[in-house]
Amino acid sequence: MAIGHFSSFVCIKCIQHITKFFVWPIAQYLAALQISYPALVRHFVKFLPSDDRPPLLYNAFHRLSLGELVTLQGRLPAEAQKILSGLQSGCPVLYRMILHDKEIQRLIEEERMIEPFEPELLNPASLDLRLGDNIMVEVEHTAELQLQSIAHCTVDNPYWLAPGEFVLAETREIFNMPNDVCGMFCLKSSRAREGYEHSHAGFADPLWAGSKLTLELVNARRLHSLPLYPGLKIGQMIFVITAGIPDIDYAKVGHYNGQARVMPSWEQSV
């Protein structure tokens, strides 16, 4: 069966929609009809909306074997050829592609990457995160941090983080990362300018799931306390597509899946 026979039944708008959301399932289906995935990519690439091509092409290409990539060499439009050449060189153009607002929202709505979700939390290339209801604080009688609820705290009656004080906190949001997307947390610039500090430990691996992000917060100011309360916009998550689907499964080797509240180091908890 020729590719042309398949496309003759589908309008261009349909092809755009199918390519955007269903390329891989269609490729598996067409395999039974002896239509190769490289041929499918080569055929459909010209119908992709120009502003969506890079992420969609990358998602398509990173599922191909080296042999299949070679078969596409020289047979694609220039934009697709640039991405393909990068993949073959080992330094792909989109190895560290940061997802924009539309793609973040799509992953949230279709794959439940973040729960709960409010559209007003979206930024051009990140998602704002809010503090949750629990923190862990340091006390004198033990080295182990102690769980403390701040669910009752408000903007007018917050938990006051003293100068130099360290706490673990949690996000309100629960994460369910796809198998080819990772996330990097950073403070909101406004919080940083107010004196909050966060350790550079907020990395979310692909397949990290069912968990709130634990935050390591410090008040860097010398003379004044800083407020903590549920709903405070504390930081933002940047989502990055990986250079393929990892072989190592975080669901099997990770230590922080299924954690619905702030948690200390797993090495101190065993």
Single residue among 37, 66, 89 that ends a domain in this structure: 89
How much is the pLDDT for 49?
45
How much is the pLDDT for 14?
45
What average pLDDT is seen over the chain?
A: 75
- DSSP 3-state percent helix, strand, coil across the chain (nearest 5): 35, 25, 40
Residue 251: closest CA among 179, 172, 173: 179
Domain identity same for 105 and 237 = yes
The token pair at 111 is 């794959």
Catalytic residue among 68, 79, 194, 216: 216
The token pair at 42 is 């080569």
What is the per-residue pLDDT across 119-143, written as a single tens digit (0 to 9) for each? Answer: 999 999 999 999 999 999 999 999 8
Per-residue confidence band for 9, with pLDDT thresholds at 50, 70 and 90: very low
How much is the pLDDT for 52?
46
Asked whether residue 94 is assigned to any structural domain, the reply reads no
Residue 136: closest CA among 147, 126, 122, 125: 147
229-251 average pLDDT score: 89
The token pair at 85 is 């050449």
Angle between helices 12-31 and 53-61 (to 10 degrees): 10
Residue 237: closest CA among 124, 154, 128, 101: 128
Coil, strand or helix at 25? helix
How much is the pLDDT for 82?
55
Domain identity same for 149 and 50 = no
Of 10-14, 168-172, 211-215, where does mean pLDDT reach its minimum? 10-14
- Provide the residue range defining the domain that includes 80: 3-89
How much is the pLDDT for 146?
94
What is the per-residue pLDDT across 25-71, written as a single tens digit (0 to 9) for each? Answer: 444 444 444 444 444 444 444 444 444 444 445 555 544 444 454 45
Please report the DSSP string for 209-224 in residue order. Answer: EEEEEEEEEEE--SS-
Q: Return the higher-pLDDT residue of 173 and 56.
A: 173
Which residues sit opposite 186 in a β-bridge? 236
Q: What is the CATH number of the domain that holds 244?
A: 2.70.40.10
Asked whether residue 95 is assigned to any structural domain, the reply reads no
How much is the pLDDT for 133?
97
Domain identity same for 118 and 248 = yes
Q: Return the higher-pLDDT residue of 178 and 84.
A: 178
Is the pLDDT reported for residue 5 higher than 50? no
Domain identity same for 187 and 159 = yes
How much is the pLDDT for 253?
86
Q: Are 213 and 175 in contact (CB under 8 A)?
A: yes
Domain identity same for 138 and 226 = yes
Does the annotation count 216 as an active-site position?
yes
> Which of 48-57, 181-190, 241-250 has the highest average model confidence (pLDDT)?
181-190
The token pair at 19 is 């390519």
Per-residue confidence band for 12, with pLDDT thresholds at 50, 70 and 90: very low
Domain identity same for 76 and 115 = no
